[in-house]
A and B are shown apart, each in its own frame.
Chain A
Amino acid sequence: MPEHIDTTAGTATPRPRTPRPGQQHFAASVDEGLGAVDAVDTTSAPAGFWREAWRGMRRRPLFWVSTAIILAVVVVAIAPQLFTPHQPRVCDLGNALASSSPSHIFGTDRQGCDVYTRMLFGARASVVVGVLTTTLVVIVGVLIGAAAGYYGGWWDTVLSRFTDIVFAIPLVLAAIVIMSLASTRTALTVALVLASFGWPNIARITRGTVMSVKHNEFVTAARSLGMGRGAILWRHVLPNAAAPIIVYATVALGTFIVAEATLSFLGIGLPSSTVSWGGDISQARGALRTDPQVLLYPSAALGFTVLGFILMGDVVRDALDPKARKR
């Protein structure tokens, strides 16, 4: 990480009101004489932008709450079989729609499957689609946005118009049309479809921040030292434009999980052979009134997961956004 990230990072960061040790020499108070500068504490380096953000973040209880939720979901997604003796697809039709009992703590659904087990195994589909979509969206969005913002001119005109065009098509609408025409439905196709219409927001954000960062002194300095344009973009501009992209990506992960669940709910997302929360919620439709547990648990799991990412996004924004830090 380059050193100059310190105070000019992202969008012209105003210095925090209370300076940390090592930064105090920037602001000598009026009644201090000239000699006061000698008292600068040089034992600790000035805290970098990211370390500063980390310090602010770990003091928030919400950060730890959301970390716990996300970690729990990821662990369950990787190894759901560790937490249950049952199999999600081995069901007992004779024991359908049973209420909670010691062997089936959340009861069973219409097919006689264990609701608790299916809730655990459903995590994988959501996490895989969410992470995959977000990764693709960040790659495509940052590439297009950075090229438009950094190179400007014709690049900007063409790429920005293209972004506008894709932005004009609502995500859910496009996903519904394409997914109902798709011949194969896997986590990968769902992620590809969501990503191919989900990137314009991040491209716009990246373009904006890159444009505001590229006129900073350190970019001019790097250029005058003979650094190539691509190297400057990669080493200097993008790291300093990363904060808003990270914030948006965290929240977007949650919304993509909801979008996947919506598609699976409509029957055009993941196939019914894949255990997913959206699919299970859709299956619960017929048994709503008599057996609410079939709806409750997959919905709650889905809600908690999305909540985890939204909370994390909130905390990260508060930590990275200088305006919010002032308050």
Chain B
Amino acid sequence: MRWYIGRRLLQVIPVFLGATLLLYALVFLRPGDPVAALGGDRGLPESVQNAIRAQFHLDEPFLVQYFYFLKGIFTFDFGQTFAGRQVAEVIAGAFPVTVQLALMALVIEAVFGIGFGLYSGMRKGGIFDSTVLILSLVIIAVPVFVIGFVMQIFVGVQWGLLPITAGRDPDFESLLMPAIVLASTSFAYVLRLTRTSVQENLSADYVRTARAKGLSRGAVTGRHVLRNSLIPVVTYLGADLGALMAGAIVTESIFNIHGVGGTLYEAINKGENTLVVSLTTLLVLVYIVGNLLVDLLYAALDPRIRYA
């Protein structure tokens, strides 16, 4: 087990380096000169352009640039944007909202996905089960932004239950609708996963044993069926946090939230390469750490899994 953890931790290093190098190359090796574009139509004097290039190490070979970038990440010095703002400052302004949004979505999909999935799995073939199953398919098939629009029209405008957009410094209430929208697709997956898993475990031998020895229905469900059914669900949820944060780009654009998505989008359009790479690197890092935690959790949760 200890060997497994060590090996799994070591694996993260090449994956992180490779993924950041790939992203860095994609952003920085594209045609066009961001420095020349800085001055707009009038252009900057050659000497100023060269000074900027030297400041951002743009005059050095690509791999050296990447090395500077990596060094910056490990010393928490992300550098400056071309416009002169500290990248770390921009990140500190953008990340909290997106993290809050993603965590709220995670809680929503976990609570409702597992709850509905458990109920549905215990009553296989019933009206509730069939309805929920069809509904989950529809949610998966309809894109997030359509769900967002529909919720804005009905929940926001027609019924007036929740604010339609979030804007700057959003509170819990105004983030609720975006979080529900962001959670919708994953909610459907969690539901289906829990349902299948519960059904499988219901016919397992240990559940029959638990019933035979006279355990109450609630105890069998809670202590045996649910706990064993949660293993695949928990792993899905862990991997989903990173996906939620990356997927928040669409949700943030619908609800006008100034989080990572909005900032990233702006940075891409302005050609702020350093900011683009820093933001995507952090998102990738969350994604990698999420997957890592899942693998470790998996080993801890399921003693049947033995790692050599």
Contacts and interface: CB of A to CB of B under 8 A. Distances in A.
Do A and B make up one complex? yes
Interface of A: 161-162, 164-166, 168-170, 172-174, 176-178, 180-181, 183, 254, 258, 261-262, 265-266, 278, 281, 284-285, 288-289, 292, 295, 299, 302-304, 306-307, 310-311
B247 A172 contact: yes
B221 to A, nearest CB: 21
Interface residues of B, number: 43
B137 interface: yes
B117 to A, nearest CB: 16
A168 B287 contact: yes
Contacts of B137: 307, 310-311
A265 B145 contact: yes
A311 B11 CA distance: 37
Interface in B13-42: 14-16, 18-19, 22-23, 26-27, 30-31
Tell me if B's interface is mostly helix, strand, loop or mixed: helix
Contact of A289 (B19, B31, B153, B250): B153
Contacts of A254: 141
Interface string B133-146: 00001101111111
Contact of A177 (B26, B152, B287): B26
Contacts of A265: 143, 145, 250
B145 A281 contact: yes
A278 B142 CA distance: 11
B30 A181 contact: yes
Given A177-B276, A181-B27, A307 B149 contact: no
Q: Tell me whether chain A's interface is mostly helix, strand or loop, or mixed.
A: helix
B149 A310 contact: no
B268 A299 contact: no
Contacts of B291: 168
Contact of A169 (B23, B142, B146, B264): B23
Nearest to A182: B30
B151 to A, nearest CB: 11
A169 B280 CA distance: 9
Contacts of A172: 246-247, 249-250
Nearest to A292: B153
Contacts, number: 117
A288 B149 contact: yes
Contact of B141 (A170, A284, A288, A303): A303
A254 B249 CA distance: 20
Given A180-B268, A180-B269, A295 B146 contact: yes
Contacts of A304: 141
6 contacts: A173-B283, A174-B26, A180-B268, A265-B145, A299-B142, A302-B142
Interface of B: 11, 14-16, 18-19, 22-23, 26-27, 30-31, 137-138, 140-146, 149, 152-153, 157, 242-243, 246-247, 249-250, 253, 264-265, 268-269, 276, 280, 283-284, 287-288, 291
A320 to B, nearest CB: 16
A281 B146 contact: yes
A296 B14 CA distance: 46
Contacts of B253: 266
A261 to B, nearest CB: 5
B19 A169 contact: yes
B249 A176 contact: yes
Nearest to B147: A299
Nearest to B283: A173
B153 A168 contact: no
Contacts of A170: 242-243, 246-247, 283-284, 287
Contacts of B287: 168-170
A304 to B, nearest CB: 7
A178 B145 CA distance: 21
- In the complex, the 9 A-B pairs of residues with the closest C-beta atoms, listed nearest first: A165-B18, A170-B246, A307-B141, A306-B141, A173-B246, A299-B146, A168-B19, A303-B142, A180-B268
B222 to A, nearest CB: 25
A261 B247 contact: no
A262 B15 CA distance: 27
A137 to B, nearest CB: 18
Given A173-B249, A292-B153, A299-B146, A165 B141 contact: no
A117 B12 CA distance: 50
Contacts of A306: 140-142
A169 B22 contact: yes
A117 to B, nearest CB: 20
A173 B268 contact: no
Contacts of B22: 165-166, 169
